[in-house]
A and B are shown apart, each in its own frame.
Chain A
Amino acid sequence: MVKRTRLMRSQELIYEMRVAEVMTKDVVTVTPKTSMSKFGDILRSKRISGTPVVSGGFLVGIISIEDFINWLEKGSKKARVKQCMTEKVITVFDDEPLAQVISKLEHYRYGRLPVIDRDSKKLVGLVTNGDIIEGLLHKVERVHNEEEIRRHQASNIFDDIIVDQTTLIYEYRVIGKDFKQAGAGTSRLRKTLSRLEIHPQVLRRAAIVAYEAEMNIVIYTDGGDLFAKVEPGMITIVARDKGPGIENIELALTPGYSTAEDWVRQLGFGAGMGLCNIKKVSDEMFLDSSVDDGTRLEARIAI
């Protein structure tokens, strides 16, 4: 009996989730006939910076606080929304994937986009950056992990997505020589990745890479950082420290070769397998090290 496990990556979320799942449905609107002074009152009382303009359920324009200011400066007192609004509106359909919305928001540098029902063509909601962040967070249940939230403010996550379109980055600090805490970063990373519904075998490999890399930082250095980047088709784990560096990389990659002190060996590590293990379970490994600058290890696992 073969049970097919669905491969769902974090970045797939923004392809899989639809606008309708995250949009705000309760939208304040005005009609073309609404007077501009009334529109001003609405902005003030609802504390919003613009509204869609709707006629008979259909979107006919959009009007913002900027239009209101322009009107205050030079408009006629009796003007209505119709004369001041922008008629050409960029919209999204409610069944479009979030990725589409993110790229539209980014491209036009808008803070919000009206959402249209594809069939009826009527306005059904409004979507903002905030809605998307909240929706994604909710989906990956990150809200429960306070520590990660602290490290990665919601806006940050959104920045990551914007910058690379589809990438999530996690970062963990590793304390050198602290054998008791060692592995805590891996543990958190593992938990996060499992929430993203990464395939179990990929998850296990990523965890092994992260753990061996973290142990190397703990054993040999005064501390460093562990990063995990999740993007379409790839998890990249980077371990970085500030020294002392590896004198002979080729030798360090020889199975069984180790410079570990005895206390490390007594703890079941330092058998000269760590780097070999990382190489073995990852698809690609890069190791840069200098005695002055420390070591940077990068391992990639295809998903």
Chain B
Amino acid sequence: MTVKEMIQGADLEVKAAANCLDTEVTGGYSGDLISAVIANAEEGNVWITWHVHPNIVAAALVVKLAAIILISGRQPEEETVKKADEEGIPILVSKQPAFAIIGKLNNMGIMGEK
């Protein structure tokens, strides 16, 4: 499944890098510790997080994440959007809390641990 298909299926809104939505999503990762994402997430994962600051883009680049989803109506900081656009990391937002978003993605076949 591509990022674009995931966006449609889970009713997400694109906030950055709208031209980079064809990446294949390999799975999902959830957690709010940036060091843990870097240590545990896999390439092509979509990361569900609360954080909105530019460091999330840096972490996404390190792991080569397919996209970042911000939860509970959180909006990315300006600097985050700028950096994400530059680096081609899609930032997606949802009003739903993490639990509901992950549940939906999971039902769509985006799994966590392989």
Contact = CB atoms under 8 A, between A and B. Distances in A.
Given A256-B52, A256-B53, A271-B51, A266 B33 contact: yes
Contacts of B34: 265
Nearest to A265: B33
Contacts, number: 13
Contacts of B22: none
Interface residues of B, number: 9
A265 B35 CA distance: 10
Contacts of B77: 256
Contacts of B51: 256, 271
Interface in A253-300: 256, 265-266, 268, 271
A268 B33 CA distance: 8
Contacts of B35: 266
Contacts of A266: 33, 35
Nearest to B36: A266
Contacts of A265: 33-34
A266 B33 CA distance: 7
Nearest to B33: A266
Nearest to A267: B33
Interface string B71-88: 000000100000000000
Nearest to A256: B53
A271 B56 CA distance: 13
Most B CB contacts (10 A, CB to CB) among A256, A266, A268 go to A256
A76 B77 CA distance: 92
Contacts of A268: 32-33
Interface in B27-81: 32-35, 50-53, 77
Contacts of A256: 51-53, 77
A268 B34 CA distance: 11
Nearest to B50: A271
Interface string A187-215: 00000000000000000000000000000
Nearest to B53: A256
A226 B46 CA distance: 42
B113 to A, nearest CB: 22
A1 to B, nearest CB: 27
Contacts of A271: 32, 50-51
A85 B35 CA distance: 82
B16 to A, nearest CB: 17
A80 B53 CA distance: 87
Nearest to A257: B53
B31 to A, nearest CB: 11
B87 to A, nearest CB: 20
Given A265-B34, A266-B33, A271-B32, 10 more contacts: A256-B51, A256-B52, A256-B53, A256-B77, A265-B33, A266-B35, A268-B32, A268-B33, A271-B50, A271-B51
Interface of A: 256, 265-266, 268, 271
13 contacts: A256-B51, A256-B52, A256-B53, A256-B77, A265-B33, A265-B34, A266-B33, A266-B35, A268-B32, A268-B33, A271-B32, A271-B50, A271-B51
Q: Which 5 A-B pairs have the closest CB atoms?
A: A256-B53, A256-B52, A266-B33, A256-B77, A266-B35
